């Protein structure tokens, strides 16, 4: 968990490699649906571009399907879900049904201005979802994905105005979820400032503690 742009996707990608489990990013799944022009994609495109949340019912169907797939049986790194009170309940029910439980919930933190700076310099690969940063983690050739060679893009929701709106959605809807996990003693707050590898070392220490 953490504000948009705090580094959840970057850390989740590192964590899934280290743990050898899938990275389930609801944002990536939705962006892929938009790119593919599926019926889900057509319904959610406007919401994504304007930084609003997709309705809980649609998200529930999506997460039930994804976590039910066989590659998630050994575990998964969940990124971007749950984001509302209703989604917290949905995740509890899915995990209950699958016979799983959350080991740990990370809350990545960083000051807002730092995040705005990062998001304006973020570039993503529309093909394989790799994330780059023009200053901190630039692609080897400008504008080209290191992993798959596709042209990098700036996400439509990474403009400063939309970013500020996404922060507000986060504060109102998602922060209370972090508090709920804190009460369940699952929350590990991680300082998200620094190079991706430095932040990842902090996560790694916390994972060892939690396992
Ligand atoms: P992200 O890549 O996690 O920043 O998500 C990008 C956008 O996808 C969000 O601004 C929402 O429009 C949508 N989205 C992703 N995850 C969720 C979720 N759990 N609930 C509702 N909308 C979501």
Ligand 1 neighbourhood includes 22 CB (under 6 angstroms): no
Residue linked to tokens 């705090």? 6
Q: Which of 8, 16, 31, 118 is catalytic?
A: 8
3-state SS class at 197: helix
Nearest to residue 19, comparing CAs of 131, 104, 98? Answer: 104
Provide the domain limits for residue 77.
8-105+161-204
Concerning whether 118 is annotated as a catalytic residue, the answer is: no
Q: Of the residues 27, 85, 165, which should be mutated to test ligand 1's pocket, given the most ligand atoms within 8 Å of the CB?
A: 27
Parallel, antiparallel or unpaired: strands 122-124 and 131-133: antiparallel
In a domain, 150, yes or no: no
Ligand 1 neighbourhood includes 78 CB (under 6 angstroms): no
Domain total for the chain? Answer: 1
Ligand 1 neighbourhood includes 30 CB (under 6 angstroms): yes
In a domain, 195, yes or no: yes
Return the pLDDT at 148: 97
In a domain, 76, yes or no: yes
CATH number at residue 38: 3.40.50.300
Q: Of the residues 40, 54, 81, 167, which should be mutated to test ligand 1's pocket, given the most ligand atoms within 8 Å of the CB?
A: 54
* Cα dihedral sign, 4-5-7-9: positive
In a domain, 143, yes or no: no
Q: Over the stretch 80-103, which tens digit does the pLDDT of each residue have? A: 999 999 999 999 999 999 999 999
Return the pLDDT at 183: 98
Nearest to residue 129, comparing CAs of 199, 7, 200, 31? Answer: 31
Nearest to residue 29, comparing CAs of 7, 6, 14, 12? Answer: 12
Nearest to residue 59, comparing CAs of 89, 103, 17? Answer: 89
In a domain, 172, yes or no: yes
3-state SS class at 65: helix
Concerning whether 155 is annotated as a catalytic residue, the answer is: yes
Return the pLDDT at 210: 57
In a domain, 139, yes or no: no
Concerning whether 8 is annotated as a catalytic residue, the answer is: yes
User: How many residues belong to the chain?
Assistant: 211
Q: Which of 83, 118, 123, 202 is catalytic?
A: 83
Nearest to residue 67, comparing CAs of 56, 55, 57, 79? Answer: 79
Q: Over the stretch 17-30, which tens digit does the pLDDT of each residue have? A: 999 999 999 999 99
Residue linked to tokens 């609801």? 26
What's the rounded Cα separation, in Å, for the pair 162 and 145? 25
Which segments of the chain have a pLDDT < 50?
Answer: none
Q: Cα dist. 177→89, 107, 113, 192 in Å?
A: 10, 10, 23, 19
In a domain, 141, yes or no: no
Return the pLDDT at 117: 86
In a domain, 65, yes or no: yes
Largest CA distance in the chain: 46
Write the DSSP string, 75-129: --EEES---SHHHHHHHHHHHHHHT---S-EEEEE--HHHHHHHHHTEEE-TTT-
Return the pLDDT at 211: 56
């Amino acid at each position: 968990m953490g504000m948009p742009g705090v580094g959840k996707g970057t850390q989740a990608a590192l964590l899934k490699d280290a743990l050898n489990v899938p990275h389930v990013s609801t944002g990536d799944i939705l962006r892929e649906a938009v790119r593919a022009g599926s019926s889900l994609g057509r319904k959610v495109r406007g919401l994504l571009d304007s930084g609003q949340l997709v309705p809980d019912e649609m998200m529930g169907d999506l997460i039930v399907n994804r976590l039910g797939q066989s590659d998630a049986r050994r575990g998964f790194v969940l990124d971007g879900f749950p984001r509302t009170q209703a989604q917290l309940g949905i995740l509890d029910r899915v995990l209950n049904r699958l016979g799983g439980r959350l080991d740990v919930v990370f809350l990545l933190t960083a000051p807002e201005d730092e995040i705005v700076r990062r998001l304006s310099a973020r570039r993503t690969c529309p093909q394989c979802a790799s994330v780059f940063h023009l200053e901190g983690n630039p692609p080897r050739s400008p504008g080209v994905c290191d992993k798959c060679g596709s042209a990098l893009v700036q996400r439509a929701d990474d403009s400063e105005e939309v970013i500020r709106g996404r922060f507000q959605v986060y504060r109102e809807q998602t922060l209370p979820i972090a508090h709920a996990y804190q009460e369940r003693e699952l929350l590990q707050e991680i300082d998200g400032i620094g190079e991706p590898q430095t932040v990842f070392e902090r996560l790694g220490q916390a994972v060892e503690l939690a396992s």
